[in-house]
Amino acid sequence: MSDNVFIGAPSLSGFLDRLGLPPASRDRVIAIDRELAEKVEGGDPDECAELILEAVDLLADVNPAGFEWSGWDDDDDPGDPGDFDLDGMERGEE
């Protein structure tokens, strides 16, 4: 983590607005960002995965125009070796 603040840097809130995230979802993603920073600094990285998956779910619901989803295979085909089923994941287990 860096304590450097760049005044000219784009904000997370502005980025989420450009994606078209509704205000409630935007506020939750911002809260997740803050929680992640605390957990990483506090040495609790195991809880980060659940927060990241929650943020990804919120962003995926928007389906932002221009975002290339082809690398995110979520087709529930068990025969597909590249299959990554976000909805079928067992949360909290490795």
Digitized pLDDT (tens) for each residue of the chain, 94 residues in all? 455 555 555 688 888 888 888 889 899 999 999 999 888 888 777 778 888 889 988 888 776 666 665 655 555 555 555 555 555 556 555 4
Q: Does any domain span residue 33?
A: yes
The pTM of this model reads: 0.57
Q: Does any domain span residue 1?
A: no
Q: Which two tokens stand for residue 51?
A: 């927060």
Q: Does any domain span residue 2?
A: no
Supply the pLDDT for residue 12.
84
HSE value, Cβ hemisphere, 13 Å, CA-based, for 89: 15
Do the beta carbons of residue 13 and residue 30 sit within 8 Å? yes
Supply the pLDDT for residue 88.
58
Number of domains in the chain: 1
Supply the pLDDT for residue 31.
93
Supply the pLDDT for residue 42.
80
Residue ranges making up the domain that contains 85: 10-94
